């Protein structure tokens, strides 16, 4: 059986992430964060003035109001409440010294927004409005606008008043408690219909769509509504729009998990932040009717890119905790930092700088990445809300050291808190003098100045006063459009004119036209076919807002290529379509319309399996892929996919393998179908269950006649049990094996002649030596043994390890042993839940770079005290089924059809929603304290390994080395993987190459179904052409001395890595390889390859120079067409079924024009997400002869340096002979490009 130690440690890293990321006990309270050159961080307020501040807003006078308090994270009904305070620096010394409580008695305050004399407060489960009616800076009226909105986790955030006069709210997926039945759980406690729709519940019988606001409470009589934070989740979160003038509440967009904040820029373009516990946090661009994937009816998605049912995200996905977001365009900041976004990350203690650009209709960061703007380091910098202040600087609220509220002996909250200002040095602050009179008495110039401000309260108040004045405001507003002071003023002027019913607005520029379309000042139909995708999106949104989708949107879907516009189009039509109408669209002769109809039927769960199976034969590739996705997600069917054991590669517990024979010994994994030899195809068939996924040494059957006591030696980083799988036909066992005990277990092989009996012996960590296969040294009639290694479980001494003992043991801790504990199956097993440098499972947070985030004390304290804090998102969920036993785990994914739980051991269980009776969250850890399970030394070694894991440098090139591959990182992002050892791919290859903008230009490796299915291809399993031959970018040869190094029949083995050099702009390394014969018995030649990667104006460049030689004998290259440098482009870049185009230096195009022709260069490119991307290849001018192109429209190009055969033949027409002691050299330059690229001038 699998040791319980393996199961218990799965949650250790969960708790580690919780403890060390959510507490900051060792923060330096006197240190300041760092800012880039030209900026400085100033501390404006700290405890005791502020304590765990979470929300801020500047009022009409320019004063700072802050929501704060002890409610987060586990309040009870009688817990102290949150409050809103006004902070002031009255003496002008740059530090606040005055605090006054403006309003109190709230649940956790997570957003506030001013409008007039009303402060709107998001304190889930309530949305509360407070008013100061007598001007004493103390609110005396409290009104609950909405209630029963869900608990304080995944709650109501992001209150923003837009230029349309509506309040936009971001809401996570926590749900209320009055969801069904004949009456609310408490009188009057029922959420509006829009919220209930997001959660997937109808509400109590007869519940109103928009319940009326509560009575007016006083400060003394107001009581916040309580909801247990452990209450479970609804289906999805959303962005909602509330129009108090109507009043009405509608869902603007959906598909979020915990959208912490939203904001808009000077042109009313939205961005928001969304949190996920396992997939990394994301930035999104909400638009009308969009669905961003969380809780999708049938196909949940988090990244969203290339996923037809959902909308794409904007920017990077980062393992952190995104919080506030704000647009910055103030005159205090230099031009380099105007027109940009700032994003807070609470976990990584950073503020990111997002420089926007437009990729079609999608707002994305330049280069696909953010810049670090403020870095917390050792300081107490845990940003929550961020805003631009009246002085033009960036204001940042900072949380205290503890995750939740803490109190002194008198019961007074004693958490820390921070208010920072990020100031541009040597630039004057903005002086904002506020008129000391009511808005009704302001001049138009004063109102218009506020309309163009960056302070939300000033903008909405100016807008309301201009609307109140009516037609007399029209002239001044039109005057603004003639000469606007800012884009924000221009934007708000158009919307204000629209509210006054002025539709004749002069279209002075692109922004005015965009606002006219959105605000209804022009006919949106006129822009549905405009070349500008942002206009097309605005037109569809305007039609959606006014309930007038029509045939023009439908016609647009025929040719629409922008994924955002297409998504908005079909979902807008769906909002008004009947089932018969959707079915008619799904059978339309045009693929764009037909695809939209299929998407609608799938979304509404109105399609059957039989109907979807027929779609696999559709003439449109995207519909076929959509059908395959539906079958996979809904029915668990992978059309044409090869069967996978589901067991991941084992961490190799046999290291530094050495054999006295010249034959290969390699690491492997115990699983069905895994080859147990290195020179034969025979594979494991049946084996004892407790060995599944454990580490194996694959051996050469050519050593079947080996003898003696010292054939094989290796290092084991842990204490292990070594199992020798020895052929039962060998009756006389070798002497060295007599020290092993018979385990009474066997393994069977696809070699039907052999049954392998398992002999076991325990070894301490260190060097282990095993002998030969026989007692007599005679080969034949038998199979060679293979070896399995299983870590020994800890031997509990009964003593509980302490923090001090583990800290003391760090002095002698071996991080290599810690790595084995972390990654090995049967070790601590942490990788069953967590990823580390791409290895493991994403059940828990990615712990790559843990050494940059955690210190030793926190890591060890987390293992010893796992229940101190349970991270949001990692609490245990229990699900009661209507029939059958209960299920428990951590919520991984949910849709309208299924709920998926991740369980200890890395398994997933998918539960049908219709069979679920009850879901409950429990604030308990899934693990016991580890002091009783691991000894102090083992704890220290795990900590040492985690501390050694430093993230790649954020700038420049970096090579991350692994056992079987290298990863190339540029500016903190992986851009390529160099794989040099693999069971199926027997030559070195470059796989999964991406542009700096994160667009992948080579086919996925391994290929994916349905993404990489080749249209009409059925010759190989899965419908994918040569899945393990066409792998990315590679140098391969169909014939060297009669051996095939193209089709994975003979192996190229890496012997040595030489001379890695990296810098900001360049990376180089060299490898020495040997080419083995097909049987692996001897060496054909050696190869030395130098790789150099460098930045390029449109991407990055890979230059390779290869030298082939043999100092003992001659060898030759045959002239097969499958030889030279090969490239397999990403499936969307194919000519056939994609957007691609092949060109060469002669101006020839695609297969028909380029195949078989010599040229100086080739380029295979198309568009990805509306952006031109591709791969350019130029053979070196020093090559022995020109290359000719073996190019195919299905996505491959091979640049062959040998003569072209007159007729394809495996036997060579021409041999290129390399004499003993001489060398043959080849070189190529590969450019991965994005954006405007001219092949003629690479």
Residue 912 burial (CB count, 10 A): 11
In the predicted model, what is the mean pLDDT of the chain?
91
Q: Is the pLDDT of residue 727 over 70?
A: yes
Can you tell me whether residue 1133 is helix, strand or coil? helix
- Residue 10's pLDDT is 36
Q: Is the pLDDT of residue 315 over 90?
A: no
104 DSSP β-pair partners: 83
Least confident of 282-296, 615-629, 1134-1148, 1220-1234: 615-629
C-alpha distances in Å from residue 1240, one per residue of 1163, 1188, 1235: 10, 18, 15
Same domain, 685 and 803: no
Least confident of 172-181, 917-926, 1232-1241: 917-926
- Residue 384's pLDDT is 98
Q: Which domain holds residue 818?
A: 798-948
Q: Are 756 and 785 in contact (CB under 8 A)?
A: yes
80 part of a folded domain: yes
Same domain, 813 and 939: yes
What is the DSSP-derived secondary structure letter of residue 420?
E
Q: Is the pLDDT of residue 8 over 60?
A: no
Q: Is the pLDDT of residue 254 over 90?
A: yes
**pLDDT, average across residues 448-460:** 98
- Long-range contact pairs involving 961-965 (C-beta distance under 8 Å, separation at least 24): 961/1057, 962/837, 962/838, 963/652, 963/667
CATH of the domain at 1166: 2.70.98.60
- Residue 922's pLDDT is 67
Q: Is the pLDDT of residue 9 over 70?
A: no
Place of tokens 């002698």: 812
Distance between CA atoms of 814 and 1192, rounded to whole angstroms? 51
Same domain, 415 and 455: no
For every residue of 293-347, DSSP letters joined together read: STT-SS---SS-TT-TTSPPPEEEEESS-EEEEEEE--TTS-GGGSSEEEEEETT
517 part of a folded domain: no
- Residue 643's pLDDT is 47
pLDDT band for position 973 (cuts 50, 70, 90): confident
| Cα 1184 → chain centroid | 45
- Start-end of H helices in 350-455: 444-451
User: Closest Cα to residue 506, out of 532, 480, 473, 486?
Assistant: 480
Least confident of 18-32, 267-281, 673-687, 860-874: 860-874
Same domain, 908 and 763: no
Same domain, 267 and 193: yes
H or E stretch covering 12: helix 10-22
Q: Is the pLDDT of residue 480 over 70?
A: yes
Least confident of 138-147, 184-193, 859-868, 1141-1150: 859-868
Place of tokens 């349905």: 1010
639 part of a folded domain: no
Q: Are 213 and 143 in contact (CB under 8 A)?
A: yes
- Residue 16's pLDDT is 45
Q: Are 360 and 1168 in contact (CB under 8 A)?
A: no
C-alpha distances in Å from residue 1184, one per residue of 1034, 1155, 1181, 1187, 1204: 19, 21, 8, 9, 14
Three-class secondary structure assignment of 1020-1060:
CHHHCCCCCCCCCEEEEECCECCECCCCCCCCEEEEEEEEE
pLDDT band for position 1209 (cuts 50, 70, 90): confident
- Residue 829's pLDDT is 63
Nearest 5°: phi and psi at 806? Answer: -70, -40
Same domain, 901 and 967: no
Q: Is the pLDDT of residue 289 over 60?
A: yes
Same domain, 190 and 311: yes
Same domain, 306 and 381: yes
**pLDDT, average across residues 183-189:** 91
Q: Is the pLDDT of residue 942 over 60?
A: yes
Distance between CA atoms of 58 and 61, rounded to whole angstroms? 8
- Residue 519's pLDDT is 95
**pLDDT, average across residues 90-115:** 98
Distance between CA atoms of 901 and 496, rounded to whole angstroms? 49
Reported as a single tens digit per residue, the pLDDT across 370-419 is 999 999 999 999 999 999 999 999 999 999 999 899 999 999 999 999 99
| Number of residues that make up the chain | 1242
Of the residues 477, 509, 541, the one at which a domain ends: 509
Same domain, 83 and 199: yes
Q: Is the model more confident about 1104 or about 616?
A: 1104
CATH of the domain at 894: 2.30.30.100
Q: Which two tokens stand for residue 560?
A: 């629409």
541 part of a folded domain: no
- Residue 214's pLDDT is 95
Q: What proportion of the chain, given as a percentage, has pLDDT over 90?
A: 72
Q: Is the model more confident about 20 or about 667?
A: 667
Distance between CA atoms of 279 and 301, rounded to whole angstroms? 10
C-alpha distances in Å from residue 229, one per residue of 73, 216, 826, 1138: 8, 27, 36, 48
Nearest 5°: phi and psi at 1121? Answer: -65, -20
C-alpha distances in Å from residue 66, one per residue of 172, 332, 421: 22, 23, 14
Q: Are 1220 and 1111 in contact (CB under 8 A)?
A: yes
Residue 336: CB partners within 8 Å, gap ≥ 6?
A: none
CATH of the domain at 410: 2.120.10.30
Distance between CA atoms of 963 and 942, rounded to whole angstroms? 20
Of the residues 464, 483, 509, the one at which a domain ends: 509
Q: What proportion of the chain, given as a percentage, has pLDDT over 70?
A: 92
**pLDDT, average across residues 542-554:** 83
Q: Is the pLDDT of residue 1042 over 50?
A: yes
User: Closest Cα to residue 1228, out of 1180, 1159, 1172?
Assistant: 1180
Q: Is the pLDDT of residue 954 over 60?
A: yes
Q: Which two tokens stand for residue 305?
A: 């890119």
Least confident of 109-123, 149-163, 820-834, 921-935: 921-935
Q: Is the pLDDT of residue 425 over 80?
A: yes
Same domain, 171 and 261: yes
Reported as a single tens digit per residue, the pLDDT across 872-907 is 566 677 888 888 878 887 777 788 888 888 776 556
- Residue 716's pLDDT is 96
C-alpha distances in Å from residue 1098, one per residue of 128, 999, 1133, 1144: 51, 13, 17, 19
Q: Are 677 and 747 in contact (CB under 8 A)?
A: no
Distance between CA atoms of 516 and 510, rounded to whole angstroms? 10
H or E stretch covering 790: strand 786-791
1083 part of a folded domain: yes
Reported as a single tens digit per residue, the pLDDT across 29-85 is 999 999 999 999 999 999 999 999 999 999 999 999 999 999 998 899 999 999 999
Q: Are 1146 and 1156 in contact (CB under 8 A)?
A: no
**pLDDT, average across residues 137-146:** 98
Distance between CA atoms of 944 and 856, rounded to whole angstroms? 8
* Total count of domains within the chain: 5
Q: Is the model more confident about 60 or about 917?
A: 60
27 part of a folded domain: no
From the number of C-beta atoms within 10 Å of its C-beta (0-12, 13-18, 19+), residue 795 rates as exposed
From the number of C-beta atoms within 10 Å of its C-beta (0-12, 13-18, 19+), residue 135 rates as exposed
Of the residues 919, 948, 977, the one at which a domain ends: 948
* Reported pTM: 0.76
Same domain, 935 and 1048: no
pLDDT band for position 835 (cuts 50, 70, 90): low
H or E stretch covering 461: helix 456-469
Distance between CA atoms of 976 and 990, rounded to whole angstroms? 7
**pLDDT, average across residues 612-620:** 92
Reported as a single tens digit per residue, the pLDDT across 764-810 is 999 999 999 999 999 999 999 999 999 998 766 678 889 899 899 99
Place of tokens 């020895």: 726
933 part of a folded domain: yes
Q: Is the pLDDT of residue 13 over 60?
A: no
**CB neighbour burial string for 25-42, b if at least 16 within 10 angstroms, e if fewer:** eebeeeebbbbeeebebe
H or E stretch covering 539: helix 533-545
491 part of a folded domain: yes
Q: Which two tokens stand for residue 902?
A: 């991740």
**CB neighbour burial string for 686-698, b if at least 16 within 10 angstroms, e if fewer:** ebbeebbbbbbbb
898 DSSP β-pair partners: 912
Same domain, 363 and 237: yes
**pLDDT, average across residues 259-270:** 99
For every residue of 1168-1224, DSSP letters joined together read: ETTEEEEEEEEE-TTSSS--EEEE-TTSEEEEE-SPPPSS--SS-SS-EEE-TT-EE
Q: Is the pLDDT of residue 1 over 80?
A: no
Residue 855 burial (CB count, 10 A): 15
**pLDDT, average across residues 637-663:** 75
Least confident of 140-154, 285-299, 945-959: 945-959
């Amino acid at each position: 059986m699998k040791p319980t130690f393996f199961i218990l440690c799965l949650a250790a890293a969960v708790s580690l992430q919780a403890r060390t990321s959510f507490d900051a006990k060792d923060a330096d309270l006197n240190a300041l964060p760092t800012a880039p050159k030209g900026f400085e961080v100033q501390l404006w307020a700290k405890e005791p003035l502020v304590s765990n501040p979470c929300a801020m807003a500047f009022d009409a006078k320019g004063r700072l109001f802050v929501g704060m308090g002890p409610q987060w994270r586990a309040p009870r009904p009688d817990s102290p409440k949150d409050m809103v305070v006004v902070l002031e620096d009255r003496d002008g010394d740059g530090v606040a010294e005055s605090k006054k409580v403006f309003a109190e008695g709230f649940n956790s305050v997570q957003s506030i927004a001013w409008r007039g004399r009303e402060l709107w407060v998001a304190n889930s489960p309530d949305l509360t409005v407070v008013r100061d009616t007598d001007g004493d800076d103390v609110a005396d009226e409290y009104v609950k606008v909405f209630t029963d909105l869900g608990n304080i986790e995944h709650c109501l955030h992001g209150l923003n008043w837009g230029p349309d006069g509506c309040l936009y709210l971001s809401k996570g997926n926590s749900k209320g408690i009055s969801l069904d039945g004949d009456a609310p759980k408490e009188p009057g406690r029922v959420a509006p219909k829009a919220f209930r729709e997001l959660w997937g519940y109808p509400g109590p019988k007869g519940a109103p769509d928009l319940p009326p606001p509560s009575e007016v409470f006083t400060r003394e009589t107001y009581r916040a509504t309580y909801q247990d934070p452990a209450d479970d989740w609804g289906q999805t979160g959303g962005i909602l729009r509330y129009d108090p003038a109507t009043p009405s509440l509608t869902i603007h967009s959906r598909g979020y998990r915990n959208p912490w904040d939203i904001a808009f820029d000077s042109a009313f373009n939205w961005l928001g932040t969304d949190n996920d516990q396992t997939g990394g946090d994301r930035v999104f661009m909400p638009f009308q009717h969009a669905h961003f994937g969380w809780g999708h009816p049938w196909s949940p998605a988090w990244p969203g890119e290339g996923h037809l049912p959902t909308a794409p995200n904007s920017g990077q996905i980062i393992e952190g905790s995104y919080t506030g977001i704000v647009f910055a365009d103030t005159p205090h900041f230099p031009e380099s930092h105007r027109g940009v976004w700032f994003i807070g990350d609470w976990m990584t203690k950073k503020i990111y700088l997002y420089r926007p650009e437009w990729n079609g209709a999608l707002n994305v960061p330049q280069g696909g990445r953010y810049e670090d703007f403020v870095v917390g380091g050792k300081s107490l910098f845990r940003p929550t809300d961020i805003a631009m202040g009246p002085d033009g600087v960036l204001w940042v609220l900072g949380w205290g050291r503890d995750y939740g509220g803490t109190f002194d002996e008198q019961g007074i909250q004693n958490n820390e808190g921070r208010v920072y200002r990020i100031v541009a040095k040597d630039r004057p602050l903005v002086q904002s003098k506020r008129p000391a009179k009511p808005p009704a008495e302001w001049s138009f110039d004063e109102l218009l100045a506020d309309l163009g401000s960056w302070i939300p309260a000033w903008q909405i108040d100016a807008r309301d006063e201009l609307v109140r004045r009516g037609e007399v405001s029209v002239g001044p507003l039109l005057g603004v459009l003639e000469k606007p002071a800012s884009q924000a003023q221009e934007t708000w002027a158009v919307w204000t004119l629209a509210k006054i019913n002025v539709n004749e607005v002069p279209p002075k520029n692109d922004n005015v036209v965009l606002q006219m379309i959105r605000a209804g000042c022009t006919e949106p139909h006129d822009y549905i076919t405009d070349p500008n995708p942002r206009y097309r999106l605005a037109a569809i949104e305007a039609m959606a807002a006014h309930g007038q989708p029509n045939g023009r949107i439908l016609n647009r879907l025929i040719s629409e290529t922008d994924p955002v516009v297409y998504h908005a189009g079909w979902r807008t039509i769906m909002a008004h379509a009947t089932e018969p109408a959707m079915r008619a669209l799904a059978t339309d002769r045009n693929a764009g319309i037909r695809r939209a109809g299929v998407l609608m039927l799938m979304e509404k769960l109105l399609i059957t399996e039989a109907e979807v199976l027929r779609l696999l034969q559709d003439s449109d590739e995207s519909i076929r892929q959509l059908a395959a996705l539906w079958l996979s997600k809904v029915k668990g069917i992978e059309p044409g996919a090869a069967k996978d054991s589901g067991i991941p590669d084992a961490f190799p517990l046999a290291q530094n393998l050495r054999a006295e024979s010249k034959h290969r010994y390699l690491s492997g994994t115990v699983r069905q179908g895994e080859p147990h030899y290195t020179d034969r195809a025979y594979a494991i068939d049946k084996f004892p269950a407790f060995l599944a996924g454990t580490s194996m040494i694959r051996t050469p059957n050519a050593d079947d006649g080996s003898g003696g006591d010292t054939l094989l030696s290796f290092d084991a980083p842990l204490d292990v049990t070594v199992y020798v799988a020895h052929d039962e036909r060998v009756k006389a066992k070798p002497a060295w094996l007599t020290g092993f005990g018979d385990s009474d277990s066997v393994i069977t092989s696809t070699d039907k002649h052999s049954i392998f009996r398992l002999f076991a012996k325990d070894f301490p960590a260190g060097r282990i030596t095993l002998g030969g296969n026989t007692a007599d040294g005679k080969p034949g009639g038998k199979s060679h043994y293979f070896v399995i290694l299983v870590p020994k479980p800890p031997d509990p001494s009964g003593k509980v390890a302490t923090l001090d003992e583990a800290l003391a043991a760090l002095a002698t801790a071996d991080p290599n042993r810690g790595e084995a504990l972390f990654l090995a199956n049967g070790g601590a097993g942490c990788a069953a839940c967590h990823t580390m440098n791409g290895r493991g499972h994403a059940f828990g947070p990615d712990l790559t770079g843990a050494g940059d985030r955690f210190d030793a004390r926190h890591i060890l304290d987390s293992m010893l005290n796992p229940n101190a804090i349970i991270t949001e998102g990692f609490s245990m969920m229990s699900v009661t089924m209507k029939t059958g036993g209960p299920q428990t785990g951590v919520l991984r994914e949910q849709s309208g059809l299924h709920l998926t739980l991740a369980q200890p051991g890395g398994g997933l269980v998918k539960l049908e929603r219709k069979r679920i009776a009850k879901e409950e969250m429990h604030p308990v850890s899934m693990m016991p304290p580890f002091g009783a399970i691991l000894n102090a030394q083992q704890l220290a070694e795990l900590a040492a390994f985690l501390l050694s894991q430093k993230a790649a440098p954020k700038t420049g090139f970096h090579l991350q080395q692994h056992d079987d591959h290298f990863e190339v990182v540029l500016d903190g992002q992986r851009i390529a993987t160099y794989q040099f050892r693999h069971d199926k791919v027997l030559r070195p290859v470059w796989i999964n190459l991406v542009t700096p903008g994160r667009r992948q230009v080579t086919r996925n490796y391994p290929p994916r179904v349905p993404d990489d299915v080749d249209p009409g291809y059925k010759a190989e399993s899965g419908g994918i052409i040569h899945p393990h031959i066409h792998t990315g970018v590679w140098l391969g040869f169909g014939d060297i001395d009669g051996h095939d190094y193209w089709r994975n029949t003979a192996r190229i083995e890496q012997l040595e890595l030489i001379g890695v050099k990296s810098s900001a702009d360049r990376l180089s390394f060299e490898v020495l390889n040997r080419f083995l014969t097909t049987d692996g018995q001897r060496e054909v030649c050696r190869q030395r390859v130098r790789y150099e990667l460098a930045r390029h104006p449109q991407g990055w460049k890979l230059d390779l120079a290869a030298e082939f030689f043999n100092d003992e004998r001659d060898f030759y290259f045959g002239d097969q067409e499958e030889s030279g440098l090969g490239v397999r482009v990403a499936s969307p870049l194919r000519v056939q079924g994609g957007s691609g185009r092949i060109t060469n230096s002669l101006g020839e195009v695609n297969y028909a024009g380029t195949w078989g022709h010599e040229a100086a260069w080739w380029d295979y490119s198309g568009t990805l997400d509306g952006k031109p991307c591709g791969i350019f290849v130029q053979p070196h001018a020093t090559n022995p002869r020109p290359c000719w192109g073996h190019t195919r429209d299905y996505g491959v190009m091979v640049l062959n340096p040998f003569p072209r055969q007159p007729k394809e033949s495996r036997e060579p027409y021409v041999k290129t002979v390399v004499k003993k002691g001489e060398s043959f050299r080849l070189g190529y330059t590969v450019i991965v490009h994005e954006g405007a690229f001219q092949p003629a001038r690479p």
